[in-house]
Amino acid sequence: MVDAISNTPTRRLVIAPNASLTRAQAQWCFLAMCGVSFSVALFFMTLGLWPVLPFAGLEMAALGTALYASVKANSYREIVSITDERIEIVAGTAKPERQWEFPRLLTQVRLSSSVHRNGRSRLLVTRHGHGCEIGALLTEEERAEVAERLKEWVTARSIES
């Protein structure tokens, strides 16, 4: 791939969560649940059980908050761009929030195992002791695969090869 702005060969890897729920699906789910919940609450309210309605509202507020948080978390991205000279990592939700840049020479990609028995490994991009962790949302197998791919890209003579 050639970067359109700088016209240099670039390899790019995008790490994103497995988002199974779109914003539109979350909205439809929320509206359907509100319809069912408030219908049942209104029925019981007509029978004189009025405290059901505020609790139905609280339940729907909690559901709406959870769906909003889920959809927002689904927009998280980590973008690793590698050129012949540098490695750039940009991470954030909906917009870049954190950015790291390393010269490609002497930069290391390491997959460090956890000190705990059932802990997760860490995928680190470092140079002279400074760096960042990427791929925290990946499974162990995916993290190992990404580590191998990045090691190949970083140690290759040229991006075009």
Predicted pLDDT of residue 117? 78
Q: What is the mean pLDDT of residues 94-120?
A: 86
Percent of the chain residues topping a pLDDT of 70:
93
CATH class of 11-16+77-155: mainly beta
Please list the alpha-helical segments (H only) found in 10-159: 23-46, 52-73, 140-155
Predicted pLDDT of residue 8? 66
Amino acid at site 141? E
Residues 105/87, Cβ–Cβ less than 8 Å: no
- What is the CB-side half-sphere exposure of residue 84 using CA atoms within 13 A? 10
pLDDT greater at residue 149 or residue 129: 149
> What are the sequence ranges of the domains in the chain?
11-16+77-155, 23-73
